[in-house]
Amino acid sequence: MSCFGLFKRKPRSSEGSPGSVRRGGSAPPSGPATTTGSGSAVSTSLSDDSGAVRPVSKSGGSSQSQHSISSLYEERGHGQLRAFQYEELQAATADFGRAQKLGEGGFGSVYKGFIRAADPRGDRVAVAVKRLNQRSLQGHKQWLAEVQFLGVLDHPNLVKLLGYCADDSERGAQRLLVYEYMPNKSLEDHLFGRANPPLSWNKRLQIILGAAEGLAYLHEGVEIQVIYRDFKTSNILLDKDFRARLSDFGLAREGPTGTNTHVSTAVVGTHGYAAPEYVDTGHLTSKSDVWSFGVVLYEILTGRRSLDRNKPAAEQKLLEWVAQFPPDSRSFRVIMDPKLRGEYSVKAAREIAKLANRCLLKNAKERPTMTEVVEVLRQAVQAHAEPARGDINRNGSGKGKKANAVTTPSRR
Ligand SMILES: Nc1ncnc2c1ncn2[C@@H]1O[C@H](COP(=O)(O)OP(=O)(O)OP(=O)(O)O)[C@@H](O)[C@H]1O
Ligand SMILES: [Mg+2]
In a domain, 69, yes or no: no
**Cβ distance 28 to 36 under 8 Å?**
no
Name the residue with the closest Cα to ligand 1, atom 17: 105
Q: Please check if 130 is assigned to a binding site.
A: yes
In a domain, 158, yes or no: no
**Cβ distance 103 to 138 under 8 Å?**
no
In a domain, 215, yes or no: yes
Residues serving a catalytic function are: 230
DSSP 309-374: TTS-GGGSBHHHHHTTS-TTSGGGGGGS-GGGTT-S-HHHHHHHHHHHHHHT-SSGGGSPPHHHHH
Show pLDDT as tens, one digit a residue, over the chain (412 residues): 544 444 222 223 332 222 222 222 222 223 223 333 333 333 333 333 333 323 333 333 334 456 788 888 888 766 689 999 999 999 999 999 999 999 998 888 999 999 988 777 778 899 999 999 876 656 788 899 899 999 999 999 999 999 999 998 888 889 999 999 999 999 999 999 888 899 999 999 999 999 999 999 999 988 899 999 999 999 999 999 999 999 999 889 988 887 788 888 878 778 899 999 999 999 999 999 999 999 999 999 999 999 999 999 999 999 999 999 999 999 999 999 999 999 999 999 999 999 999 999 999 999 999 999 999 999 988 877 544 444 444 333 333 333 333 333 333 2
Dihedrals φ, ψ of 282, to 5°? Answer: 80, 5
- Cβ neighbourhood burial of 20 (10 Å; 0-12, 13-18, 19+): middle
Question: What distance in Å separates the CA atoms of residue 349 and residue 364, rounded to the nearest whole number?
Answer: 23
**Considering every ligand atom, which ligand is closest to the CA of 239?**
1
- Expressed in angstroms and rounded, the spacing between residue 186 Cα and the centre of ligand 2 is 9
In a domain, 390, yes or no: no
**Cβ distance 50 to 138 under 8 Å?**
no
The CATH number of the domain where 225 resides is what? 1.10.510.10
**Cβ distance 6 to 142 under 8 Å?**
no
Cα–chain-centroid distance for residue 113? 22
Domain count, the chain: 1
In a domain, 124, yes or no: no
Question: What distance in Å separates the CA atoms of residue 238 and residue 244, rounded to the nearest whole number?
Answer: 5
In a domain, 114, yes or no: no
Domain of 356 in residue numbering reads as 187-384
Name the residue with the closest Cα to ligand 1, atom 28: 103
In a domain, 378, yes or no: yes
- Cβ neighbourhood burial of 332 (10 Å; 0-12, 13-18, 19+): middle
- Cβ neighbourhood burial of 160 (10 Å; 0-12, 13-18, 19+): middle
Name the residue with the closest Cα to ligand 1, atom 16: 105
In a domain, 377, yes or no: yes
Task: Spell out which residues line ligand 1, taking CB within 6 angstroms.
Answer: 2-3, 102-108, 110, 128, 130, 159, 179, 181-182, 185-186, 230, 234-235, 237, 247-248, 270
